[in-house]
Amino acid sequence: MRSGAGPIGIVGVGNMGGGMARRLLDTGWAVRTCDLVPEKVESLRRAGAEPVLTPAEAAAGARALIVCVVDAGQCDEVLFGPDGAAAALPPGAPVLLCPTIAPQDAESLAARLAAAGATAIDAPMSGGPARARDGSMSLMVACSDPAFAAAADLLAALSSRVFRVGTRPGDGAKTKLVNNLLAGINLVGAAEALALAQRLGLDLGRTLDVIEQSSGQSWIGSDRMRRAIAGDYEPRAHVSLLRKDTALAMEAAKHAGFDGPLGAAARDAFDQAARAGLADLDDAALFRWLSRS
């Protein structure tokens, strides 16, 4: 795919998009980057990426485009707003839609991209910036067979854990919402358990050592609570992201006629933590919020 092809355009080079950009640069791909924060683009320029100012410039002549922004509104702006990427893409170019968005938004964006002559790949991601950087993050891919074939080398370069979850755009978004709902439930549970351990006078590090080797273990609990114990709330994944994602998951559940006991409680916990002023901190800050409650 690299030979004789244009660069990979990436719009949105924050924690995850920046990790993907560096992964591609490390493995020999030409990368073109665009972001509202100039410092992020400049950092990647020093690593070998070509900086551009608009999504249209990122898309022009690109072999594929990766959209790695926060939500559906930003996707719409990147693709179809002023200086949007969709009109500038080469015919048939794959567009990876990587944010966590509602399934109906993924379907709508895919239809509009098809009308513009591009090929949508519903491809939400999971795993955090370090795993985006080393190519071990999960990609949940839903797209047509031709689209998957067209982007196979790019997907393989981005991740050793590519899961083909369906052929319909929207199925990737649904899978990501299910995953992130469970991540949110697990994180709230881990933060609650550690807050209780603190109240009981236990050593938090030793308690987490036990949990990690026992039935209470979860990856996100270990990852976030280690940071929380160290007082490290520098954002890798903001509280606001799981606030958004658990709310989207609950909307999808309502649409499907499903009512479970834990999802709404997790959604409300992230919402309350954000309202308490923690929205821009790492989501490990759930421990801070619960330990003060």
DSSP secondary structure letter of residue 282: B
Distance CA 270, CA 183 (A): 12
Residue 34 · residue 63 · CB < 8 Å: no
Burial class (CB in 10 A: 0-12, 13-18, 19+), 225: buried
Bridge partners (DSSP) of residue 238 are 282
Helical H segments across 135-238, by residue range? 145-150, 152-158, 171-199, 204-212, 219-229
Residue 188 · residue 265 · CB < 8 Å: yes
67 three-state secondary structure: strand
Bridge partners (DSSP) of residue 272 are none
Catalytically active residues are 176
> What is the phi/psi pair of residue 122, to 5°?
-75, 105
